[in-house]
Structure 1
Amino acid sequence: MKAVVLDGFGGLDVLQYRDIPKPIAVPGTVLIRIKAFGINHAEMHMRRGEWAEAAPVSGIECVGIVEACPGGEFAVGTKVAAFMGGLGRTINGSYAEYTLASVHNVAAIESELSWAELAAIPITYATAWTTLFRNLDLQPGQTLVIRGATSSLGLAAVNLAVNAGARVIATSTNDSQFDRLIQMGVTRCEVESLQLSAQLPDKGQIDAVLDLVGNSVVVDSLRIVRRGGKVCLAGWLGGLDPIPDFNPLLQMASGVYLTFFGSFVFGTPQFPVSDVPLQAIATDIAAGKFQAKPSRIFRFDELREAHRVMEANEAKGKMVVVHDDA
């Protein structure tokens, strides 16, 4: 089968097109004929050698059709999404014509959406939904700040939070994106900064913060929420450096909650893929409730260009790659 293989770590040139053996399904796995897959920042870090683990074939998610499933958990021909469970990290991932995923990381997802539109859903919406409705326990009428709202994960969180009846304050480093966010139902936009808390008139009254900027601002996020408010750290748009000189006694407000979510836990007993309503999300997207189309669509032979766009921060949303037969 055709695949893109990491030939070492570094720039775009390490993404090499090669023919490799097609994987063989064994009990507990699902062989998927890939139709399309999303592009993720994690894959850029893997390509650079900045991630703890990186399989020869990258790619942490895909959508496609079941070709084989020895255990019978999914019927051959079923339309499915697969994400995490070691894909692209400890086992070959989705940058290929086929992938072999754990049954625990596969979900049926029947929809009339195109393969490109379906590919924009799995890991992005699963992560956004889990952070909002499990970690933050977001309720209708609550006020939520989404830091890094114009990232693909941020845009998915905006869609889900607005649809759930929350009042959303969104941040971006680029105010040219504010009109788009307002059209999506955001109540207010703020320019992202290291000291966002100082510029919010409703600081101390906010119910929750979804922090996708990361360690560089998480202490500031803790200053934003009310007593009993929650902060969920779930992204690193600001880089992977550790929180500098964090001292909870001096820097963390009393009575607030800090939680973390990493999508690598999907498929484990405590975070089953079945917990995420992917089918309902796809149905809502098909019904026009969300603005969830991919920002850019690439062919399989354009994968290097997709990485270039991602690295240059030109994505402006979720980018996907589609195979020629999709």
Structure 2
Amino acid sequence: MSSTSTMRAIVISAFGPPSTLKMQSVPLPVPTPGTALIKIRAFGINHAEMHMRRGEWAESVPISGIECVGTIEECPTGEFTPGTPVASTIADAPHRMGGLGRTIPGTYAEYTVARVSNIVPLVDDGDALLPLPWNQVAALPESYSVAWTCLFRNLALERGHKLLIRGATSALGRAAVNLAVEAGAVVTATTRSEEKFEEMKAWGVTEIVLEGKGLPARFQEQKGEQVKFDRVLELIGNTTVVESLALAKRDGRVCLAGWLGGLDPIREFNPLLEMASGVHLNFFGSFVFGEPEFPLSDIPLRKIVRAVAEGKFDARPYKVWRFGEEGIQEAHRYMEEGLAKGKMVVVIGEEGKEI
């Protein structure tokens, strides 16, 4: 149990630019039955947190952050032993939207409290997983949990399926590529940068195209025929999802799970004219993790961590910052200006210490 009653946290002092993120001393959160206090060792930075900082998200609290890795500090009802290495991602109560950084204080802090149903121990049979630095394991919980759920639950991806991933060089997109390639899917991916083409081929992507509007027409022009996919993972968002519907074959599925193109709503969408018959459109938002229909235990996160540790997945973070006001602000500037080329991580304490 922590011997202090306060902790350091990065707080949204007002809705606005990255400079509104300020370091403050705040009360240490207190765990209650069914929750645990986590000493945070590192956490990932996510686009949702940028929108929360701007005041564009439906729910947010002053301490942002929707995922973390660390060690159990205290667990009142004994589900976890103090010192156990764990990962946690959002949602704090069944049957309602919410969670870390949304309705309860998040992970931009030295400690956080999360429901035990949203905590995954990073141990197998009592032994720690293969050595992996905190800065690497912090790149996994949110991206891989969402990617796995989108691919194998919402999209019901199977070996041999032709899969299109729009926005594949984002942190979520890259996780989806790794998982889909391992599952035997034939992956076509989009990116805004031709510089990423060779790197993506090394990931196992079969075909790479430049992201942009008019993709169905460009596919047809290049191949001389209409191109259709079994499955489409849409990470650009509302600006391109109508096009993605046109790229799915009959009985195909499209999963909308990202908003790299912004949060503006879909405008003037007429399903009668713009949606192919027999195509299934669904949505996934990670705020549902922890609800009965979406248990975090459903996701093989320990297997994913082991795959990264064994070198099967290249999940190294794009950039790592030390915990502090300057680092957090710079990370948010990277997001705002579109400079991030992968997962960004913040570490507290010893960056290279292994779990």
Normalised-by-shorter TM-score class: over 0.9
Q: Distance in 2 between matches of 1:309 and 1:264?
A: 24
Partner of residue 287, structure 1: 310
Partner of residue 322, structure 1: 347
Q: Distance in 2 between matches of 1:84 and 1:319?
A: 17
8 Å Cα contact 1:43-1:58 kept in structure 2:
yes
1:312 aligns with 2:344: no
Q: Distance in 1 between matches of 2:314 and 2:226?
A: 29
Q: Distance in 2 between matches of 1:250 and 1:84?
A: 37
Q: Which stretch of structure 1 is more off in the superposition, 118-127 or 205-214?
A: 205-214
The residue correspondences of 1:207-226 to structure 2 (distance < 5 A) are 207-226=230-249
The residue type paired with residue 100 of structure 1 is V
Partner of residue 80, structure 1: 86
Match of 1:245 among 268, 271, 295: 268
Change (3 A) 1:116 1:203: farther
1:52 aligns with 2:64: no
Partner of residue 193, structure 2: 174
Partner of residue 117, structure 1: 136
Match of 2:30 among 24, 36, 47: 24
> How far has the Cα of 1:208 moved from its partner?
0.6
The residue type paired with residue 104 of structure 1 is S
C-alpha distance after superposition, 1:24-59 (max 9, x if no partner): 111011100000000000111011111111111110
The structure 1 segments of at least 4 consecutive aligned residues displaced by more than 6 Å after TM superposition are: none
Q: Distance in 2 between matches of 1:181 and 1:244?
A: 32
Q: Distance in 2 between matches of 1:141 and 1:66?
A: 41
> How far has the Cα of 1:205 moved from its partner?
3.4
TM-score computed with the length of structure 2 as normaliser: 0.90
Q: Distance in 1 between matches of 2:8 and 2:57?
A: 24
Partner of residue 152, structure 1: 171
Q: Distance in 2 between matches of 1:175 and 1:290?
A: 22
Q: Distance in 1 between matches of 2:212 and 2:19?
A: 34
TM-score computed with the length of structure 1 as normaliser: 0.98
The residue type paired with residue 70 of structure 1 is P
Q: Distance in 2 between matches of 1:239 and 1:55?
A: 21
Q: Distance in 2 between matches of 1:312 and 1:26?
A: 40
Task: Report the 3-state secondary structure (helix = DSSP H, G, I; strand = E; otherwise coil) of the residue aligned with 1:227.
Answer: strand
The residue correspondences of 1:87-126 to structure 2 (distance < 5 A) are 87-110=100-123, 111=129, 112-126=131-145
The residue type paired with residue 306 of structure 2 is T
Match of 1:190 among 190, 209, 221: 209
1:68 aligns with 2:93: no
8 Å Cα contact 1:204-1:223 kept in structure 2:
no
The residue type paired with residue 320 of structure 2 is I
Percent identical:
56
| Structure 2: tracts of 5 or more residues without a match | 1-6, 92-98, 124-128
The residue type paired with residue 63 of structure 1 is V
Match of 2:156 among 137, 146, 160: 137
8 Å Cα contact 1:203-1:223 kept in structure 2:
no
Q: Distance in 1 between matches of 2:320 and 2:226?
A: 39
Partner of residue 96, structure 2: none
Partner of residue 10, structure 1: 16
Match of 1:236 among 254, 259, 264: 259
| Structure 1: tracts of 5 or more residues without a match | none
The residue type paired with residue 278 of structure 1 is L
C-alpha distance after superposition, 1:148-175 (max 9, x if no partner): 0011100000010011111100001211
8 Å Cα contact 1:87-1:101 kept in structure 2:
yes
8 Å Cα contact 1:37-1:322 kept in structure 2:
yes
Q: Distance in 1 between matches of 2:210 and 2:247?
A: 15
